[in-house]
Amino acid sequence: MKAIEIREKYLNFFEKHGHKIIPSAPLIPENDSSVLFTTAGMQPLVPYLLGEKHPEGTRLTDYQKCLRTNDIDEVGDNRHLTYFEMLGNWSLGDYFKEESIQMSYDFLTQELNIPSEKISVTCFAGDEDCPRDEITANCWKRAGIPEERIYFYGKDDNWWIAGETGPCGADTEMFYDTGKEPCGPDCQPSCDCGKYVEIWNNVFMEFYRNEDGSYSKLKQHNVDTGMGLERIAFILQGKETPFDIEIFEPVMSKLQELSKNDNIESRRIATEHLRASIMISADGERPSNVDRGYILRRLIRRMTRHISKLGVDLNCLSDLIDLNIDTLKELYPYLEQKRELIKEVIVGEKDKFIKTLARGEKEFNKVIDRIKSQGKDIIDSKSIFKLYETYGFPPEVTKDLATENGMKVDMNEINELFKEHQNKSRAGSEQKFKGGLSSSGEMETKYHTATHLLNAALKIIVNKDCHQRGSNITSERMRFDFNCDHKLTPEEKQATEDLVNKWIDDDLVVSHTEMEKQKAIDSGAECMFVERYPDIVTVYTIGEVSKEICGGPHVNRTSELGHFKIKKEEASSAGIRRIKAVLVHEN
Ligand code: SER
C-alpha cells in the first residue's frame, strides 16, 4: 500500500468515526516559540488539549508535517529520518481509552489488514505520579490482544510529553513483529534489535507537567495519537527500511545510477536531507546562521557533501530536486507552485558551500595530520569550530569526515560550543539593535514604541494570535512582520491604524519594570523568542493596552509619537505579513 493510500484510509476511517479532518499546520510553528519546528501532530493543538474549544469539535484527525533534528547525525542508518509525516487522531475531552484502543485495533487489523498476532502492545507500569495502567491493558484484551503480548514499562517508554513542561500522560504503543528471530530470551518490544517496530502511539493526556516537575490534572482527558507514515508504509510494503518506499525510491535509484561507488549511507543521507530541505524551504524558511535557518543550512550542506562523496556531479542537484518534487507532489500538491523557489534556495546554498568545500577539506586534512602526529584520535572541538567559522563546515560534516578517517569527535561538546556561539551572536545582534536605537535617538525610539502599539492593535483588529515575527526600524520608517493567514482587508488596515492613533491620542503612560522571565510570560507579556531573553527581563507596559518583554528604549507617553500611518501591507514569506508604517509629525 502506497503512503498516500495509507494516509487516505487513515483520515477516512477516523472521519467515519466522527472526526473532523483538519489541515496540517506548517512545519514552522505559528504561535509557539518554544520549538523551532513542529515535531508532533499534537503541537499545534496544545491550546485545545488544555481546554480551549476547537472550532471543529472534540474529535479531530489530520496528517502533520514534522521535523525532528535531535538525531540528525544518525540519519544514514536504516531508520532515522529528520522530516516525517505523522498521522494522528485526537479526542479533546471526548472518548478515552476504551474507544481509542478499539479504533486503533480495528484500523490496524481491518483497514491495514495486519494480522492480530503480529501486534504487541505496551502500557504504563505505574509510579508515584500515575497508577499502573491496567485499564488500558484490559481494553487491549477485550479488543483481541492476549496477555502474553501486552507489556508494561515505566516513564522512559510509556509516558509522553513534548519537552519539559506541558500536557502529557501515560501512553500505549503498538508494535509490529517483523518475524525476525528474537535477539535472545529477553527479546521484547522495548529492545532495539529490530524484531519489533513501533507503529503507533496513543497518549492518554490527562496531566500537565509543571516547571517544578510536579503534575497537575488537566481540565479534560484527551487522547493524542501518532503514527509515522513512512514507517507504517515500509512495514506494509514488506520493505526493510523507509528508504525502500516510493517516497524515497526514485531519488535513491537516481543517485545509485549516477554514483561512482556503492555508499548506501551517503545515498540515504543525501536523499533524506534533500526531502527535508525541500519541505522546510517550501514552508518559507531560508538558510542562515541561526535557529531554523541554521538547521536548513546544515541539511543542505551535509546533503551536498554526501552527493559529492558519491562522485555525483553537483550540477545535477536541480534535476534531483525536480525528481523529488515530482514524487512528493502526490502527497503535497502545493510543492508544484514552489518548485522554482525551492530550487533557488537549495541550489543557491549548495553553490555557497562548494566554494568553501575544497578549501575546508584541505584544512581538515591538516587538522587530522596534526592530531594523528600527536598520537590521538579525537578531534578537539576548537578545531571543529574553526572549520565551521572559517569554512562554513557544519559539525555533522566534520563528524562524517572524521569517521571516514578513523577519527572521533565528541558531538555533545560540539553542540554545547555551538549553542554558546549562537547565544553570543544573538546577544550581539540585540546589542547592535539596542545600541543603534539609543545612539540614533528620538525617531527610532518613537518607532520602537509604535511597534508595540501596532503589535497590540493587530491582536484586537485582526486576530488575537497575531505575533511579531520580525521588526526593523530606521529613523525614516518602521517595518513589522507578523503571522497572519491572509492579506489584510482595507477595513482591517484602517481599523488597525485608527486604533494605534486612538492610543496615541489617549496619551498613555509608558512604564517599565524588571522581573523574572517566567513571571513576565505568565503575566501575559508578549515575548517574541522566549529562549533569547535572559532570566531577568525588562517588561514595558503602555497604559493597559500593551505589555512586552523588551530592551527599550521607549518614549514616556504615547502622545509624543505624532500620527501613525500604514504605508504598505504585503506578504513577507509563507504565513507572514509585513507592514511598513511611518510616524508623521503633525505639529
Ligand atoms: N504525541 C505523540 C507522539 O509524538 C503521539 O502523537 O508520539
pLDDT digits (tens, 9 = 90+) for 317-346: 999 999 999 999 999 999 999 999 999 999
Whether residue 423 has pLDDT greater than 70: no
Three-state DSSP string of 5-31: HHHHHHHHHHHHCCCEECCCCCCCCCC
Atom number of ligand 1 nearest to Cα 39:
4
State the distance from the centre of ligand 1 to the C-alpha of 40, rounded, in angstroms: 6
Q: What are the grid coordinates assigned to 532, written together?
A: 533569547
Whether residue 32 has pLDDT greater than 70: no
Whether residue 427 has pLDDT greater than 50: no
Question: Which range (127-141, 486-500, 510-524, 526-540) has the least confidence?
Answer: 526-540
Whether residue 587 has pLDDT greater than 90: no
Residue 161, ligand 1, Cβ within 6 A: no
Instruction: State the average pLDDT over residues 436-448.
Output: 68
CA dist., res. 57 & res. 114, Å (int):
31
State the distance from the centre of ligand 1 to the C-alpha of 67, rounded, in angstroms: 13
pLDDT confidence of residue 31: 65
Question: Which range (224-228, 357-361, 432-436, 537-541) has the least confidence?
Answer: 432-436
Q: Considering the chain, what percentage of its residues have pLDDT values greater than 90?
A: 68
Residue 107 DSSP one-character state: I
Whether residue 479 has pLDDT greater than 50: yes
Whether residue 375 has pLDDT greater than 70: yes
Instruction: State the average pLDDT over residues 394-406.
Output: 86
When pLDDT is cut at 50, 70 and 90, the band that residue 524 belongs to is confident
Instruction: State the average pLDDT over residues 343-364.
Output: 90
- Please count the other Cβ atoms lying within 10 Å of the Cβ belonging to residue 431: 11
Q: Which residues of 362-401 are buried (b: 16+ CB within 10 A; e: fewer)?
A: ebbeebbeebeeeeeeebebebbbebbeebbbbbbbbbbb
Residue 169, ligand 1, Cβ within 6 A: no
pLDDT confidence of residue 431: 35
Residue 325, ligand 1, Cβ within 6 A: no
**Closest by alpha carbon to 384, among 406, 293, 400?**
400
pLDDT digits (tens, 9 = 90+) for 386-398: 888 888 788 888 8
Q: Atom 3 in ligand 1: which residue has the minimum CA distance?
A: 226
Residue 394, ligand 1, Cβ within 6 A: no
Query: 3-244 has which CATH code?
Result: 3.30.930.10
State the distance from the centre of ligand 1 to the C-alpha of 24, rounded, in angstroms: 15
pLDDT confidence of residue 531: 63
State the distance from the centre of ligand 1 to the C-alpha of 570, rounded, in angstroms: 36
Q: Atom 2 in ligand 1: which residue has the minimum CA distance?
A: 226
Cβ atoms 457, 496 nearer than 8 A: yes
State the distance from the centre of ligand 1 to the C-alpha of 38, rounded, in angstroms: 12
Question: Which range (87-96, 132-141, 464-473) has the least confidence?
Answer: 464-473
- Please count the other Cβ atoms lying within 10 Å of the Cβ belonging to residue 354: 14
Question: Which range (6-15, 88-97, 378-387) has the least confidence?
Answer: 378-387
Half-sphere CA count of 330, side-chain side, radius 13 A? 14
Residue 224, ligand 1, Cβ within 6 A: yes
CA dist., res. 24 & res. 329, Å (int):
15
When pLDDT is cut at 50, 70 and 90, the band that residue 419 belongs to is confident
pLDDT digits (tens, 9 = 90+) for 258-289: 999 999 999 999 999 999 999 999 999 999 88
State the distance from the centre of ligand 1 to the C-alpha of 26, rounded, in angstroms: 17
State the distance from the centre of ligand 1 to the C-alpha of 446, rounded, in angstroms: 46
What three-state secondary structure class fits 482?
A: strand
State the distance from the centre of ligand 1 to the C-alpha of 317, rounded, in angstroms: 34
Whether residue 435 has pLDDT greater than 80: no
Whether residue 294 has pLDDT greater than 80: yes
Q: CB under 8 Å, gap of 24 or more: what pairs does 374-377 form?
A: 377/406, 377/407, 377/408
State the distance from the centre of ligand 1 to the C-alpha of 183, rounded, in angstroms: 27
Residues contacting residue 222 through CB under 8 Å, at least 6 positions apart: 49, 90, 91, 92, 93, 167, 169, 204, 205, 206
**In terms of pLDDT, which residue wins out, 256 or 549?**
256
State the distance from the centre of ligand 1 to the C-alpha of 219, rounded, in angstroms: 20
Output phi, psi for 66, to 5 deg: -130, 150
CA dist., res. 33 & res. 29, Å (int):
7
Instruction: State the average pLDDT over residues 21-28.
Output: 94
pLDDT confidence of residue 307: 96
**Cell numbers 526593523: residue:** 472
Output phi, psi for 88, to 5 deg: -150, 155
Atom number of ligand 1 nearest to Cα 41:
6
Residue 159, ligand 1, Cβ within 6 A: no
- Please count the other Cβ atoms lying within 10 Å of the Cβ belonging to residue 73: 21
- Please count the other Cβ atoms lying within 10 Å of the Cβ belonging to residue 517: 18
Helix orientation angle between 317-328 and 264-282, rounded to the nearest 10 degrees: 70
State the distance from the centre of ligand 1 to the C-alpha of 28, rounded, in angstroms: 18
Alpha-helical runs (H) found in 220-263: 229-236, 249-258
When pLDDT is cut at 50, 70 and 90, the band that residue 532 belongs to is low
Atom number of ligand 1 nearest to Cα 42:
1
CA dist., res. 548 & res. 456, Å (int):
10
**Closest by alpha carbon to 427, among 530, 531, 532?**
532
Atom number of ligand 1 nearest to Cα 40:
4
| Omega prior to 553 cis, within 30 of 0 | yes
Which of 48, 84, 104, 203 should be mutated for ligand 1, with most atoms under 8 A from CB? 203
pLDDT digits (tens, 9 = 90+) for 198-256: 999 999 999 999 989 999 999 999 999 999 999 999 999 999 999 999 999 999 999 99
Q: Atom 6 in ligand 1: which residue has the minimum CA distance?
A: 226
Question: Which range (150-159, 232-241, 514-523) has the least confidence?
Answer: 514-523
Instruction: State the average pLDDT over residues 520-534.
Output: 77
Residue 166, ligand 1, Cβ within 6 A: no
pLDDT confidence of residue 437: 31
The CA-atom distances, in angstroms, between 118 and each of 198, 235, 279, 364 are: 12, 11, 33, 49
Question: Which range (17-31, 63-77, 530-544) has the least confidence?
Answer: 530-544
pLDDT confidence of residue 586: 61
Residue 225, ligand 1, Cβ within 6 A: yes
Beta bridge partners of 62: 88
**In terms of pLDDT, which residue wins out, 424 or 161?**
161
State the distance from the centre of ligand 1 to the C-alpha of 108, rounded, in angstroms: 17
Which of 68, 86, 89, 229 should be mutated for ligand 1, with most atoms under 8 A from CB? 86
Residue 107, ligand 1, Cβ within 6 A: no
When pLDDT is cut at 50, 70 and 90, the band that residue 430 belongs to is very low
State the distance from the centre of ligand 1 to the C-alpha of 254, rounded, in angstroms: 33
Query: 442-584 has which CATH code?
Result: 3.30.980.10
Whether residue 530 has pLDDT greater than 80: no
Which of 224, 227, 231 should be mutated for ligand 1, with most atoms under 8 A from CB? 224
pLDDT confidence of residue 473: 84
Instruction: State the average pLDDT over residues 367-372.
Output: 90
pLDDT confidence of residue 125: 98
Whether residue 557 has pLDDT greater than 60: yes
Residue 41, ligand 1, Cβ within 6 A: yes
pLDDT mean across residues, the chain: 90
CA dist., res. 142 & res. 106, Å (int):
12
State the distance from the centre of ligand 1 to the C-alpha of 320, rounded, in angstroms: 32
pLDDT confidence of residue 182: 95
